[in-house]
Amino acid sequence: MPRIPVGSWVDSLISFLLDHLGGVFDGVSSLVTSLINGVYWVLHTPPYGVVIAVFAVLAWVATRRWQLVVFTVPAFLLIVSMELWTAAMQTLTVVVLAAGAAVLIGVPVGVAAARSPRLSGVVRPVLDFMQTLPVFVYLIPSVFFFGIGVVPGTVSTTVFAIPPAVRLTELGIRQVDPEIVEAAQAFGSRPAQVLRQVQLPLALPSIMAGVNQVIMLALSMVVIAGMVGAGGLGEVVVRGVTQLDIGAGFEGGLSVVILAIFLDRVTGGFGSGSFRRLRFRRRAPDAVAAPVPALAQR
């Protein structure tokens, strides 16, 4: 059987893109670098005590559980004591930007796929391909397009983390009771109103589960991106592996685990029923009670 030169085709495509869209990639690199510097400045400029206090308040607001607050403060102080605070904030910066970009891309695509079976049929095999592709493969085109550094790590992390946002958003909207949607339409709601006021609120637990998975995938990819100079805790772990420094590698891995637990609990808290009920109680009574009689009559 003759050999199919898939690799040569990919090389030709990358060369074509670099020759004709090199300015676009330079602009994207400058934009990502500026965003990274801005977020890192916000996280790293204040004293670590202030940042840890903000994290503790965020943990309380999200979960209303003192156990997470008790975990947050000593856990981040442990990172400070291991002299990995700067690396942790670098990693958190990349995770925040990559996860935010993945959510901004994935949620609208998931909404569109839920409302269009044809688009869903196109998106599903693409997501399957993305989720079965080896993790290291994501780094190859990013390095070719953006060089070595934090930018290719951020871009590859963003692309790697998109699928859960698309899948769980589509799943959440499809699981909304059709009778509720029909009731909203019967009362004259336009499609945009149905989506914004009915489907998205009811699909919020599934969407937040997708956000949670996006953050976890971003954290796992950030560690691997340390191999291409992304910095942060990934670089600490990679250096510990390459230099056979078990202690340094363990400290870096422990810091990643602390970030993962904190982000997982906070995002899970924001998507939980208790947080939504708290927001519901704070709304004006007439704003939430008015539709009830009409729905009851139906």
Residue 116 tokens read as: 């269009």
Residue 280 tokens read as: 């519901």
pLDDT at position 294, please?
A: 41
User: How far, in Å, CA of 166 to CA of 213, rounded?
Assistant: 11
pTM: 0.81
Report the 10 Å Cβ neighbour count for 31.
Answer: 11
* DSSP code, position 4: P
Report the 10 Å Cβ neighbour count for 282.
Answer: 7
Q: Are 223 and 183 in contact (CB under 8 A)?
A: no
| Alpha carbon 229 to its chain's center | 21
State the virtual CA torsion across 250, 62, 218, 70 in degrees, nearest 10. Answer: 0
User: How far, in Å, CA of 79 to CA of 63, rounded?
Assistant: 22
Q: Are 173 and 119 in contact (CB under 8 A)?
A: no
Please give the C-alpha separations between residue 193 and each of 74, 89, 108, 186, 294, in angstroms, as whole numbers: 45, 39, 15, 12, 17
Tell me the pLDDT of the chain (298 aa) as tens digits: 677 877 788 788 888 887 777 788 888 888 888 898 898 898 888 888 899 999 999 988 888 888 888 899 999 999 999 888 999 999 999 999 999 999 999 999 999 998 888 998 899 999 888 888 888 888 888 888 887 888 888 888 899 999 999 999 999 888 888 888 888 878 777 888 888 888 888 888 888 888 888 988 888 888 888 777 777 888 888 888 888 788 888 888 899 899 989 988 888 877 665 455 544 444 444 433 334 334 434 4
Q: Is 171 exposed, middle or buried (0-12, 13-18, 19+ CB in 10 A)?
A: middle
pLDDT at position 290, please?
A: 39
Q: Hey, which bits of the chain come out as E strands?
A: none
Collapsed DSSP state (helix, strand, coil) of residue 271 = coil
pLDDT at position 77, please?
A: 93
pLDDT at position 272, please?
A: 66
pLDDT at position 273, please?
A: 52
pLDDT at position 230, please?
A: 76
Q: DSSP string covering 182-220, please?
A: HHHHHTT--HHHHIIIIIHHHHHHHHHHHHHHHHHHHHH
Report the 10 Å Cβ neighbour count for 119.
Answer: 14
Amino acid at 103: V
pLDDT at position 74, please?
A: 92
127-148 burial, b for 16+ CB within 10 Å, e for fewer? beeeeeeeeeebbebbbebbee
